[in-house]
Structure 1
């Protein structure tokens, strides 16, 4: 059985959406690969270097 991976996308402390990367991408008007990229260690390091990392858009794989 092929189960779709779900993601939770946050902007700061606010939950923006929960769903597959395609559903979240459609809501945020971005590409699905961007939602996946937000979950990678590289993205986490780059977002942590920003001036206000607490306001960044982040995604978690559920």
Structure 2
């Protein structure tokens, strides 16, 4: 099972699966997955939401 970390700026908000993070943020699973893409990173600042895949 793949885990992801969701950050806002330098603050770690939660670690979990895409489904767990989606429930935490009250958004769709696809939205959390989009937060992890390079396209989303280009559109937002470093202080925004970031999702990082953990190995």
* TM-score, length of structure 1 as denominator length: 0.79
Structure 2: where are the runs of 5+ without partners?
none
Task: Kindly tell me the number of residue pairs found equivalent between the two proteins.
Answer: 54
Q: CA RMSD in A?
A: 0.9
Q: Where do 1:1-62 residues align within 5 Å?
A: 4-47=1-44, 53-62=45-54
**Structure (1/2) with the larger strand percentage:** 2
- Could you list the runs of 5+ residues in structure 1 that have no partner in the other structure? 48-52
Segments ≥4 residues shifted beyond 3 Å: none
- Write the distance in 2 (CA, Å) between the matches of 1:46 and 1:54: 10
Superposition TM-score, scaled by structure 2 size = 0.88
